[in-house]
Amino acid sequence: MADSGTPGGETLLFLTDEQLRRGIEAMFFAYRAFTADPDRLLEEHGYGRAHHRALHFINRQSGLTVTTLLALLGVTKQSLNRVLRTLIEDGLVESRVGRRDKRERQLFLTEEGLTLERALSEAQRGRMRSAYRAAGPQAVAGFRQVLEAMMGADLQRIYQQMKEE
Amino acid sequence: MADSGTPGGETLLFLTDEQLRRGIEAMFFAYRAFTADPDRLLEEHGYGRAHHRALHFINRQSGLTVTTLLALLGVTKQSLNRVLRTLIEDGLVESRVGRRDKRERQLFLTEEGLTLERALSEAQRGRMRSAYRAAGPQAVAGFRQVLEAMMGADLQRIYQQMKEE
DNA sequence: TTGGATAGTCAACAAGACTGACTTAAAGTC
DNA sequence: GACTTTAAGTCAGTCTTGTTGACTATCCAA
């Protein structure tokens, strides 16, 4: 983008198909490991990855509406609803009628929901923390830069917005 | 690991729960984008992500056995089999009886399989390439370092092995 | 040669995504 | 006040992709 194709320069070094393929495979393997720890915990509770994602974002942005959560997760209403219903029935999530707009439902974690979210989050952070430690601060900065560039403009806007709330 | 907890140093700067959470969210959003391009292509052909993964590794390591592929993908034999069967029926993959051990099946891509694999791979590499360009060589090195640390020792061994073949 | 381990296949099932059609309630508009 | 739009939720049905259990074929070793 800001890079004006320096011919033969180091820019080309890491853009061979082989290098790109290494990156693709690294993403595949790393993502699998990344979800493995919380997955184990979830299974003990009879939940799936979908429940984890819902808990994560409700915790992250307490009081968010169903539509907002939908946009963050990128799934359909029906798909989210099944997950949300079980979480509400099990007393992990509370759904209150919106204050300003009564059509909306605002979502909150209960004490129990918070407890599970923390356990899941801690399992995931543990792996992230040791990866960060092993790789060092400079690598971490690069890691985030590449991921942000990879997610594309639309997701980047959503991702950056969450920073400020 | 090699890091001896420099108190107050820059090591601590990026290990706050907030920083770790940013990393977790970046992984989530980036992985979604990462799979989105091939997913579109796959849908046109009536395939899913599982078919993509199979094609990728069969291409990567032509003639590999079902068991080897199983280990790479980390799924059950039965799950892979359904995917593999459709690929064979559709003439994208060829399954030959193992030369040494007749119990084994060796897997190869046909011309048609190679064509689809290249299209999928190119869609995915496109995004990876522009992310790499945008972030720069140093960031890319860091990206890979963190992913490798994150995947853990077991997967790292598998991942590194593939390098040399 | 018999018996156990390994490689792969077939069948049935469950989770979690999807689409489409519909209801209810509230908000906004003419 | 009647009409339209929006937010949420529901019902029904499908698809992909994961699971377990039972089975066949082959290899190897006692």
pLDDT band of residue B13 (cuts 50, 70, 90) is: low
Task: Name the more confident of B113 and A164.
Answer: B113
> Does residue A16 sit in helix, strand or coil?
coil
The number of angstroms, rounded, from the C-alpha of A120 to the middle of its chain's C-alpha atoms is 12
Q: Is the pLDDT of residue A3 over 70?
A: no
CA distance A146 to B33: 12
Separation CA B99–CA B103 (nearest Å): 9
Phi-psi domain of A63 (left: phi exceeds 0; alpha: psi -120 through 50; beta: other): left
Report the nucleotide nearest the CA of residue A107, measured to C1'. D8
Where do the domains of chain A lie, and which CATH numbers do they carry?
28-127 (1.10.10.10)
Could you tell me whether strands B93-97 and A105-109 are parallel, antiparallel, or unpaired per DSSP bridges?
Answer: unpaired
CB pair distance less than 8 Å for B147 and A143:
yes
Instruction: Kindly state the average pLDDT of the residues A17-34.
Output: 94
Comparing B10 with A61, which gets the higher pLDDT? A61
* pLDDT mean over B78-103: 91
Q: Cβ of A105 < 7 Å from strand C? A: no
Estimate the share of chain A in helix, then strand, then coil, as percent rounded to the nearest 5.
70, 5, 20
User: Which residues of A are less than 8 Å from B142 in CB distance?
Assistant: 135, 138-143, 145-146
Enter the ipTM: 0.88
Flag whether pLDDT at A28 surpasses 60: yes
C1' (C13) to CA (A27) span, angstroms:
31
> What tens digit of pLDDT does each residue of A52-67 get?
999 999 999 999 999 9
Under the banding of pLDDT at 50, 70 and 90, the label for residue B113 is: very high
pLDDT at B47 over 50: yes
Q: Give strand pairing partners of B108.
A: B94
